[in-house]
């Protein structure tokens, strides 16, 4: 019994730790709060590189979260906020890169490879069928 | 002809190998600055010491360095002596006291010396965000037409200074 209690306790502490990175913030509406949550998860922390703004405790992430919060409360659109960040930190801050010639291969490369694979597959199947037909 | 098909995986392997090899040894922390090629953003900041308001119009008309520092930043302690030697050799440095306390910053400059032509306070870090700063120390090279040409993250020292100096025109 004590053992199970201990597990629950540890899980509880662990779950509450994951929420530590974020400050308490007041929002004018539930919608704004949801928008904030989405934005800080989509934007990458420029200092720590492999964390988003929501997860990071670095000074700059705290500042940028506050900036996102302010801009939302000022009535800026999501696109305006994203553009603001890209103008200062580059496309690097976007976890979902914009579609452009530079990111063309990134977005469509897998589909192109899939297409090539499919063509090769059909080609091989056709050849082997033809050969089997000849052998019989 | 059919035998050639067996070499396709090898060709793929060689191409991938070449791509990965060319990426070896690259600084993974390196992040291009979005500001390179752009003018220094507009600002109005209070100077340390004489409490005057300065704007981007008051920046030097020659090539200069913008250095973000703070007394809270351990690496800035390491960087400071080298900035002093740069200042002595005549490199104009604009200091931005980033997210810092006025008193401790003044004390720092008094005790360790002041390598800066002008020190502006960015207490809230708003100018830092406008410059795309990720921490301190961080330095920018601005050319004589007021355009940011280079960004250096971390300490400037005798080792990396020749590279940075190359951008000062």
Residue B80 three-state SS: helix
Interface of B with A in 21-50 (CB under 8 A): 29, 31-35
Question: Do the Cβ atoms of B135 and A59 come within 8 Å?
Answer: yes
Question: Do the Cβ atoms of B128 and A63 come within 8 Å?
Answer: yes
DSSP string over A20-69: TTSPP---SSHHHHHHHHHHHHHBBPTTTSSSBTTT--SHHHHHHHHHHH
Residue A95 three-state SS: coil
Residue spans of the domains in chain B: they are 34-165
Distance in Å, alpha carbon of A36 to nearest chain B alpha carbon: 18
Question: Do the Cβ atoms of B132 and A49 come within 8 Å?
Answer: no
Distance in Å, alpha carbon of A64 to nearest chain B alpha carbon: 8
Length of chain B: 169
Q: Give, rounded to a whole angstrom, the gap between the first and last alpha carbons of chain B.
A: 59
Question: What is the predicted ipTM?
Answer: 0.76
What does each of the 169 residues of chain B score in pLDDT, given as a tens digit?
Answer: 678 878 888 999 999 999 999 988 877 767 778 888 899 999 999 998 888 999 989 999 999 999 999 999 999 999 999 999 999 999 999 999 999 999 999 999 999 999 999 999 999 889 999 999 988 899 999 999 999 999 998 999 999 999 899 998 8
List C-alpha distances in Å: B83 to A64, A115, B6, B97, B138. 29, 56, 60, 14, 12
Sort out which chain B residues have CB atoms less than 8 A from A64's CB and list them: 129
pLDDT digits (tens, 9 = 90+) for A50-77: 888 888 888 889 889 999 999 999 999 9
Sort out which chain B residues have CB atoms less than 8 A from A109's CB and list them: none
Interface residue B134 vs chain A (CB under 8 A)? yes
Interface residue A59 vs chain B (CB under 8 A)? yes
Interface of A with B in 66-85 (CB under 8 A): 67
> What pLDDT is recorded for position A8?
64
The confidence band for A134, taking pLDDT boundaries of 50, 70 and 90, is confident
DSSP string over A103-130: THHHHHHHHHHHHHHHHHHHHHHHHHHH
∠ CA A68-A66-A95 to the nearest 5 degrees?
45
Interface residue B151 vs chain A (CB under 8 A)? no
> What pLDDT is recorded for position A118?
96
Minimal Cβ distance to A87: which of B31, B34, B128: B34
pLDDT at A18 over 60: no
How far apart, in whole angstroms, are the C-alpha atoms of residue B134 and residue B30?
12
For domain B34-165, the CATH class is alpha beta
């Amino acid at each position: 019994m004590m053992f199970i209690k201990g597990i629950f306790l540890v899980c509880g502490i662990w779950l509450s730790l994951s929420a530590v990175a974020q400050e308490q913030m007041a929002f004018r509406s539930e919608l704004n709060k949801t928008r904030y949550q989405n934005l800080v998860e989509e934007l990458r922390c420029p200092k720590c590189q492999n964390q988003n703004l929501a997860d990071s405790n670095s000074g700059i992430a705290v500042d940028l979260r506050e900036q996102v919060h302010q801009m939302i409360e000022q009535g800026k659109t999501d696109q305006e906020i994203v553009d603001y960040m890209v103008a200062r930190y580059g496309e690097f801050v976007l976890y979902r890169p914009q579609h452009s010639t530079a990111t063309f291969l990134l977005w469509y490369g897998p589909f192109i490879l899939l297409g090539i694979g499919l063509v090769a597959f059909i080609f091989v199947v056709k050849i082997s069928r033809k050969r089997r037909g000849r052998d019989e | 002809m059919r035998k050639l098909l067996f070499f396709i995986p090898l060709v793929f392997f060689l191409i991938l190998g070449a791509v990965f090899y060319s990426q070896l040894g690259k600084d993974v922390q390196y992040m291009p600055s979005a500001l390179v090629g752009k003018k220094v953003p507009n600002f109005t900041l209070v100077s340390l010491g004489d409490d005057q308001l300065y704007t981007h119009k008051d920046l030097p008309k020659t090539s200069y360095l913008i250095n973000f520092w703070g007394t809270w930043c351990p690496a800035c302690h390491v960087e400071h002596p080298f900035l002093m030697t740069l200042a002595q050799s005549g490199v104009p440095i604009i200091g931005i006291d980033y997210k810092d306390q006025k008193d401790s910053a003044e004390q720092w400059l008094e005790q360790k010396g002041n390598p800066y032509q002008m020190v502006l306070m960015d207490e809230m870090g708003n100018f830092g965000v406008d410059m795309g700063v990720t921490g301190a120390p961080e330095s920018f090279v601005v050319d004589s037409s007021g355009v940011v040409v280079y960004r250096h993250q971390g300490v400037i020292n005798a080792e990396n200074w020749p590279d940075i100096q190359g951008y000062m025109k």
